[in-house]
Amino acid sequence: MMHNLTANILSVCYLIGSISFIIGLKMLAHPDTARRGNQVSAAGMAIAIIATLILYQSDGMHLHNYAWIAGALVIGAVIGTVAARKVKMTAMPELVSIFNGMGGLCAALISIIEFSRLVPASPMLHILIIIAGLVIGSVSFSGSMVAYGKLSGKVKDHAFSWQRSFNLILLTVVLLLGALLIRGGLPVSATYIFYTLLVLSVSYGIMFVLPIGGADMPVVISLLNACTGIATACGGFLYNNPVMLTGGILVGSAGMILTIIMCKAMNRSLLNVLAGSFGATASNVVSGKEEAHKEISLSDAATAMAYAKKVMIVPGYGLAVAQAQNTCHELEKLLQEKGVEVKYAIHPVAGRMPGHMNVLLAEANVSYDLLLDMDQSNAEFPTTDIALILGANDVVNPAAEDDPKSPIYGMKILDVSFSKMVIVNKRTMKPGYAGIQNQLFSQPNTSMLFGDAKDILQKLITEIKAL
């Protein structure tokens, strides 16, 4: 009787945890409720963990090794808290990659442990879930670690002429070995095949991320995040744990939906992502020569914006590097006071991870209603007086539409050139993350405003106030 009561209470705790994940995810859809959504989800996870430690029983036995469990929880909590508090906004994508990779590694370790417990009579579905968790978790772990290296500048793009074919062959071998393990009746040791599968899965994760160019990294991060969610859901199936299953499904489905949306925005197919080498450059050299460009003074830029009817601000990684989001918001409010209509044009892959610019601007309390997606922005540019580019590069590069040889060719961009005037703020003429020159800078209606974004914005505010 007592065992049934304990099991029922545990089930209720798991239900509360699952519901909190769903509510939290819904609240993350809007900046006004995003912080509370994180807190709700965290509270649900805390309830699930505490309930498991106290109430979980298997074959009439409670959990043991509490010292090891407590130690792991404390170490993980300290590392996670310190890392999250100290990380700069510009390094957030790297942190996301590391955390995502750790999730994939945990899922793979679960599969390794559960494989060692298999018996000849184990159901085929059980084996399938173990293999799926191993493969997907390993790919997510190794791919995320390479993504971290590329985002932090520690790993360069590496590709060879038959990269796509090699990746597809490697993926096919992984799937075939997995199918053989599930089918059973192997002429060699299943353990040998299992660990071979582990090595090949890790190798595939490395090989499919290595050649991917900088402009496409947000898509890869989104896909790897989906993989971690799916692998976690496999662990939930293995342990019959509703919270783990629900969390994994939510992360996996949300990540996959986001991946598809971003692939559409980049004009890529999901097969391109899986095969790797899309958006990659054969070498890390800059393509194209630097063309003539003209500069604009601070006073002229300030005057043009102060007397414009509509200004579209296009934020990019340079804005994040300068930590200029609050200053940008101050400029926005000042222009609005002068009767200027101000909106923000957000490209799906601006920055280094999905939603990077949205998070950056939300941190500065920019109204969510002012953030326009790519299609909305492109409809506005023909009636825009000034497009102010703050540190964005590849997402406004006409080479994506005009140069078939460009590594970003085919990617949809923000059509800022349709504005009457384009002002581009950059530190230097150095190329963006994709490593190519930007044709926009030499167009007749484009003027360059060099300098640190925060410093330039502060000076623009001073000039506009003086008018």
- Of the chain, the end-to-end C-alpha distance in Å amounts to 80
CB 222 within 8 A of CB 354: yes
Distances (CA, A) of 249 to 171, 174, 228, 258: 23, 23, 10, 14
CA gap 306, 30 in Å, rounded: 31
HSE of 120 in the Cβ direction (CA atoms, 13 Å)?
A: 3
Q: Name 422's bridge partners.
A: 387, 446
Burial 435-445, CB ≥16 within 10 A → b, else e: bbbbbbbeeee
CA gap 288, 360 in Å, rounded: 31
Structure tokens at 275: 């095969």
Question: Comparing C-alpha atoms, which of 178, 174, 187 is closest to residue 129?
Answer: 178
> Per-residue DSSP letters for 74-129?
HHHHHHHHHHHHH--GGGHHHHHHHHHHHHHHHHHHHHHHHHTT--TT--HHHHHH
Q: Which of 157, 216, 394, 415 is catalytic?
A: 394
Question: What DSSP designation does 436 have?
Answer: B
The residue whose two tokens read 């799937």 is 175
Structure tokens at 300: 């002229």
Number of helices (H) and strands (E) in the chain: give both, helices first: 17, 8
Structure tokens at 442: 């030499």
373 catalytic per annotation: no
CA gap 184, 116 in Å, rounded: 15
> Three-class SS of residue 181?
helix
Q: Which residues are catalytic?
A: 394
